[in-house]
Amino acid sequence: MQATRRITGFAVALVAALSMLTAAPAGAITTSQKQAILYQELGSASVFNTMYANRTKAPNNEFDWSTDLCSWSPDNPFGFNFSSACRRHDFNYRNFKATGIFTANKPKIDTAFYNDMKAICAPYGVVKRTACNGLASTYYNAVKKLGS
């Protein structure tokens, strides 16, 4: 009887250990952990830039880094290079969707996109900055209404 309990206990422990090993690849992060990282990244373009620079290393390599930059709109309209803002916007759309928290966060993602573009416009003189901000507003309003 005692031996049967030990074997049964050992078998249960072995099955539990094996299921933990096969449940997720080594170093894999949970959906909750991904969501926490996404919320942190959404609050700071510099966090995104650091993640992007380290995108091949864990845990950053568990995110979808694919991008089509500014989709059907020019990445560099009239010389204003919005490609980095579009890259971050794609990252947020893809990864917030993949973790199931996109709909509630779409307005914040689109606003971060707009802020990223305005930061690109900021160094220009008044006339160029006004034109750049106008384009940024156009891009923002397009994703706000049509982005999914």
pLDDT (tens digit per residue) in 27-41: 688 999 999 999 999
Q: 29-146 belongs to which homologous superfamily?
A: Phospholipase A2 domain (1.20.90.10)
Distance in angstroms (rounded) separating the CA atoms of residues 81 and 108: 22
Residues annotated as part of the active site: 68-69, 89-90, 110
The pLDDT assigned to 7 comes to 44
Instruction: Return the axis-axis angle of helices 31-42 and 83-98, rounded to nearest 10°.
Output: 150
Task: Please say whether the beta carbons of 72 and 141 come within 8 A.
Answer: no
Question: In this predicted model, what pLDDT tens digit does every residue of 76-129 receive, in sequence order?
Answer: 678 899 999 999 999 999 999 999 999 999 999 999 999 999 999 999 999 999
For the entire predicted model, the pTM comes to 0.77
Look at residue 72 and tell me whether its pLDDT is greater than 80. Answer: no
